[in-house]
Amino acid sequence: MSGKVAVLGCGTMAGALIGGLIDADTVKADDVVATARSESHRDEIARTLGVKTTADNAEAARDADLIILGVKPYAAAGVLEEVADSLKDDAIIISIAAGVTTEKLLAAWQGNVVRVMPNTPVRVGKGAFIVSPAPGAEEAGEKVVEILGTVGRVIEVPEKLHDAATAVSGSGPAYVFLVAEAMIDAAVAMGLPRDQASQLTVATLAGSAELLAGDEHPAVLRSEVTSPGGTTAAALAELEAGGLRATFADAMTACRDRAAGVS
């Protein structure tokens, strides 16, 4: 895309998003201005992303074509109201603030607001995005889908399902990382050197993800590696006895509920 991009609150998720877009050559680093409160954080952003930085949100947002609202959820509407007078009429706001509805954001600025939940794999061009345009911002939503599609899979959902989808993809990488951590620790406890345990776990998860991207159902893939009475069957029996499925359901429900109440 061409035009100025402002990142208001360049934390971990917003930084991963803009970094991925820069790496994909979707946006130019020279066209990006990012904000952060502390000078040390601004210096880090400039060093790692190669973008301009400032502490002034209104300055960053002035004449920007695309604004990524990356501040904490409790501050999102306030920051949008703060910069409203600096925004172009046709500017597009991408809000990645968990749990903050487009209705709340539209109360701060009546314009093109698109609610988005990215995830951190966007940094390596493998992101998953949930997109929910505000009423009247459908055309802006199409542009956002096109932009984000350069760095991952984009799924547009009704806003009423946004928090539920956040529990799948927004927080999902953390579930995978926890599984990886548990597998590595268990392997070390059984005697494997940590570096080998890590390499085997990462390769296994990456390869399994590639298989999941195909057409076969996860249950079919699981059954293919599970012989009756075999080693995998013994392992899965322990996971089922430990309530793994119910624990995941409870965890994702808790994530959805927290997202709904976080702002």
Query: Per the annotation, does 232 bind a ligand?
Result: no
Cβ-contact 89, 117 below 8 angstroms = no
Give CA–CA dist 26/148, Å, rounded.
Answer: 9
Provide the 10 A C-beta neighbour count for residue 166.
Answer: 24
Give CA–CA dist 72/54, Å, rounded.
Answer: 18
Query: Per the annotation, does 12 bind a ligand?
Result: yes
Rounded to 5 degrees, φ, ψ at 117 are -120, 110
Rg (CA), the chain: 21
Cβ-contact 262, 98 below 8 angstroms = yes
Residue-level length of the chain? 263
Query: Per the annotation, does 112 bind a ligand?
Result: no
Give burial (CB, 10 Å; 0-12/13-18/19+) of 117.
Answer: buried
**Using DSSP, how many helices (H) and how many strands (E) does the chain show?**
12, 8
Provide the 10 A C-beta neighbour count for residue 57.
Answer: 21
Query: Per the annotation, does 255 bind a ligand?
Result: no
Torsion of CA 204, 23, 141, 165, to 10 degrees: 20
Query: Per the annotation, does 10 bind a ligand?
Result: yes
Query: Per the annotation, does 9 bind a ligand?
Result: yes
Query: Per the annotation, does 191 bind a ligand?
Result: no
Q: Which two tokens stand for residue 102?
A: 């487009």
Give CA–CA dist 107/205, Å, rounded.
Answer: 43
Give CA–CA dist 248/175, Å, rounded.
Answer: 9
Name the binding residues for NADPH.
Answer: 57
Name the binding residues for NADP(+).
Answer: 8-13
Name the binding residues.
Answer: 8-13, 57
